[in-house]
Chain A
Amino acid sequence: MDITALSALLAATIIAGTPILFAATGELLAERSGILNLGVEGMMLVGAAFGFISTVNTGNHWLGILAALAGGGFIASIHALVTITLRGNQVVSGLALTIFGSGLSGFLGKNYQGAPMPYQFKPLNIPVLGDIPFLGPVFFHHDAMVYLCIIIATAMWYLLYKTMWGLTIRSVGENPQAADAVGINVARVRYFCTIAGGMMAGLGGAYISLVYAPTWQENMTAGRGWIAVALVIFALWNPTRAILGAYLFGGVEALTFRLQTMGINISSFFLAMFPYIVTILVLVLVTIRRRQDAGAPEALGLAYDREER
């Protein structure tokens, strides 16, 4: 492989990792507050559909991004209501969210099936840095969303570990009784994290329909939401590790697309399986190396009821 192909591959890696990183960062935030939301796939799809439809109709992709945020946040709030206020089973509610989100996006997107996205994000032209050979094309020729994503993920790390807010959020996920006893409103924190997490999943979805594969297809996220959920485990609930993991998965995906052009003769169906197989292997390796609950918030998946005796 020559150097141009390699830099193109690495650039594609970053692009492919971006939607997963958005979604994983959001899921990480929700799980840190103790809410397991398996509906990431559904939230991404709704974000993708909302983002696509409003961009096409308004001609402004930033309005599309806003719509995706709203869509992801909206359906995440259903999960929040069901699991926080009504103490429903988080696993099943997450599955319901996936089914619901997939249905809603399919319903709304029906008339746009296969339509191209006319208003795309333009890659930024970063002076000086962009002109560095090799590194320039790999890191500095991307659209604004790529950088926004890295900024959000990094800010998430700072928020969780260096601020009072982060301490509060983590305490709610670790031990809601303890948080409640010192006057923290457990439900409010969990609502905030779940909905914010949904908004980020929505962003991830919109990135796919606006930038990564600029079109609308039913179920176009193709399991990336689930990969994001796996990534949170891989990252041991730490945003910096999630950044690494997301680009690792992005690399697998980018490589999948390029293998054939590189003259390696494997059926495209096997290549398509590749990211899922890698996800399984990574998850197994991470879990075997450490215990499953290593790093997991202690109250993850558990409803909180103050008067539970």
Chain B
Amino acid sequence: MPKLKLIKRENESTMARLVVPVLSIIMAFGCGWIFLALSGYYPEVVFTKMFNGALGSPYAISETIVKAVPLMITGLAISLAFKMKLWNIGAEGQIYMGAFAASGIALALGNGSPYILIPLMMIAGFAAGALWGLIPGLLKAYWQVNETIITLMLNYIAIYWVDYLVFGPWKDPNSMGFPLTPIFSPAAQLPTWGDSRVHLGLVLAGIIAISFYLIVQYTRWGYEVRVIGESSQAARYAGMNVARNIMLVMLISGGIAGIAGMVEVAGITHRLQQGLSPGYGYTAIIVTWLARLNPFVIIIVAFLFGALLVGGFAVQIVGVSFSITQILQGTILFFLLAGEIFLRYKLVLVREEAD
């Protein structure tokens, strides 16, 4: 009887590396289609709505970019930590902390020059996010405390902290009870592209991607990161300081995610508010993994996931819950993980002789 069998490949397949992610996305949408149909919706209507909402017009595309920017920056932030096999799933909290610190500067220094204000906000955002990354980094480096759980717990703390501020001391007295701060002065707002909401953050994402690529591939420190990520024993043997690098990487990873938070308040909301991030920190994990930690691919994948988010908002009009985007995200990731086995193995038909 012929049987399917997994056989180890001699070399990792380049072809599979391209095909697997694309196929994962297609199959996830296929599953979403079936799921929607079973739930009594018309999938073709939902997906058309989703597509048009995300990519159907110049405005839609600009909105997709708006959502993609924080995903790009956060995805890059996460990729650095993942490169060292540090499971930083605290980007969500780091975004909130960055947004909080940047807002603090914007609210306190109100009417300064934008050339001073914006860099200051960026530094503050980076610092606050970095602190939120450094805490688990420190614990990991010195006591091997599980960073996954610490970063996650810190997410909840950061979100409640921002809630406290926008419901309490920082609340706009004229907000009619809504949990938000007063709007920033124009000097604390990022310049935008024409009439759209696309802002300077997009350029920033590009700069970060290029710098990450250069740093990781071409510098001494990048070499250390790559070696530590594969084997801390080899790093020790090469005389690298593993503990210091764990802290440094978590600090930078948290800091960049903090900048994503800064960019979001300075570029889009122009104020600190509750529910600032609809889970960018989690979605960015999928983006990063789908891009196999490659900074340029992260930019592209983040755009696709931005489209998924915008499309997810659009389908609410036809009565479908926004949760469908989460279902699709999770499913894509499952297919991707499942598909990765084909990078290392190939499926062959084996004929077993009859007994």
Chain A residues proximal to chain B, CB less than 8 Å:
38, 42, 78, 81-83, 86-89, 91-93, 95-107, 110, 218, 222-223, 226, 229-230, 233, 267, 269-270, 272-273, 276-277, 279-280, 283-284, 287-288, 291-293, 307
Q: Is the CB of A100 within 8 A of B160?
A: no
Bound CA–CA A92/B156 (angstroms): 20
Bound CA–CA A95/B337 (angstroms): 11
Between B161, B168, B325, B337, the greatest number of chain A beta carbons within 10 A of the residue's beta carbon is seen for B337
Query: Closest approach, in angstroms, between the C-beta of A54 and any C-beta of chain B?
Result: 16
Query: Closest approach, in angstroms, between the C-beta of B163 and any C-beta of chain A?
Result: 5
10 tightest A-B CB contacts, nearest first: A100-B330, A103-B326, A106-B323, A88-B337, A96-B333, A269-B164, A103-B327, A292-B144, A107-B323, A110-B321
Q: Which of A83, A103, A222 contacts B329 (CB 8 A)?
A: A103
Which A residues lie within 8 Å of B152 (CB)? 223, 226
Query: Closest approach, in angstroms, between the C-beta of A216 and any C-beta of chain B?
Result: 13
Q: Is the CB of B334 within 8 A of A276?
A: no
Which A residues lie within 8 Å of B329 (CB)? 96, 99-100, 103
Which B residues lie within 8 Å of A291 (CB)? 144
Q: Is the CB of B163 within 8 A of A100?
A: no
| A107 in contact with B330 given A273-B157, A287-B145, A291-B144 (CB within 8 Å) | no
15 A-B Cβ contacts within 8 A? A86-B340, A87-B341, A89-B340, A93-B337, A95-B285, A96-B337, A98-B282, A99-B286, A101-B330, A110-B323, A226-B152, A230-B153, A287-B139, A292-B145, A292-B146
Which B residues lie within 8 Å of A106 (CB)? 321-323, 326
B102 within 8 A of A: no
B346 within 8 A of A: no
State the interface size on chain B (CB cutoff 8 A): 45
Which A residues lie within 8 Å of B164 (CB)? 267, 269-270
Bound CA–CA A88/B144 (angstroms): 24
Q: Is the CB of A91 within 8 A of B161?
A: no
B87 within 8 A of A: yes
Which B residues lie within 8 Å of A292 (CB)? 143-146
Q: Is the CB of A96 within 8 A of B323?
A: no
Which A residues lie within 8 Å of B325 (CB)? 103
| A287 in contact with B148 given A99-B326, A277-B157 (CB within 8 Å) | no
Bound CA–CA A198/B87 (angstroms): 22
Q: Is the CB of A99 within 8 A of B149?
A: no
A-B contact count (CB 8 A): 145
B89 within 8 A of A: yes
- Secondary structure at the A interface, as helix, strand, loop or mixed, is helix
For chain B, residues 114 to 154, give those with C-beta under 8 angstroms from any C-beta of chain A. Answer: 139, 143-146, 148-150, 152-154
Which A residues lie within 8 Å of B321 (CB)? 106-107, 110
For B88-104 the 0/1 string (1 means CB < 8 A from A) is 01000000000000000
Which B residues lie within 8 Å of A38 (CB)? 148
Bound CA–CA A118/B139 (angstroms): 46
Task: Return the chain B residue nearest A291 by Cβ.
Answer: B144
Q: Which of A104, A270, A276, A277 contacts B327 (CB 8 A)?
A: A104
B8 within 8 A of A: yes
Bound CA–CA A81/B335 (angstroms): 11
Which A residues lie within 8 Å of B89 (CB)? 95
Q: Which of B144, B160, B282 contacts A287 (CB 8 A)?
A: B144
Q: Is the CB of B160 within 8 A of A270?
A: yes
Bound CA–CA A276/B327 (angstroms): 26
Task: Return the chain A residue nearest B340 by Cβ.
Answer: A88
B289 within 8 A of A: yes
B167 within 8 A of A: yes
Q: Which of A78, A222, A223, A273 contacts B161 (CB 8 A)?
A: A273
Q: Is the CB of B160 within 8 A of A273?
A: yes
Which B residues lie within 8 Å of A226 (CB)? 149, 152-153
Which A residues lie within 8 Å of B65 (CB)? none
| A283 in contact with B150 given A92-B333, A270-B160, A273-B161 (CB within 8 Å) | yes
Between B89, B153, B160, B321, the greatest number of chain A beta carbons within 10 A of the residue's beta carbon is seen for B153
Task: Return the chain B residue nearest A230 by Cβ.
Answer: B149
Q: Is the CB of A307 within 8 A of B153?
A: no
Q: Which of A93, A107, A222, A288 contacts B334 (CB 8 A)?
A: A93
For chain B, residues 313 to 351, give those with C-beta under 8 angstroms from any C-beta of chain A. Answer: 321-331, 333-334, 337-338, 340-341
Q: Is the CB of B156 within 8 A of A276?
A: yes
Which A residues lie within 8 Å of B153 (CB)? 223, 226, 230, 276-277, 279-280
**Given A99-B282, A276-B153, A287-B139, list of 4 further CB < 8 A pairs?**
A95-B282, A98-B282, A106-B326, A287-B145
| A307 in contact with B330 given A82-B337, A92-B289 (CB within 8 Å) | no
Which B residues lie within 8 Å of A105 (CB)? 323
| A100 in contact with B149 given A86-B338, A273-B160, A284-B139 (CB within 8 Å) | no
Q: Is the CB of B149 within 8 A of A233?
A: yes
Q: Is the CB of A99 within 8 A of B323?
A: no
Bound CA–CA A42/B153 (angstroms): 16
Query: Closest approach, in angstroms, between the C-beta of B44 and any C-beta of chain A?
Result: 18
Bound CA–CA A283/B126 (angstroms): 27
Bound CA–CA A280/B151 (angstroms): 9
Which B residues lie within 8 Å of A273 (CB)? 156-157, 160-161
Bound CA–CA A83/B144 (angstroms): 24
Query: Closest approach, in angstroms, between the C-beta of B71 and any C-beta of chain A?
Result: 14
| A283 in contact with B323 given A269-B161, A273-B156 (CB within 8 Å) | no
| A86 in contact with B330 given A273-B161, A276-B153 (CB within 8 Å) | no
Bound CA–CA A100/B336 (angstroms): 14
Which B residues lie within 8 Å of A92 (CB)? 285, 289, 333, 337
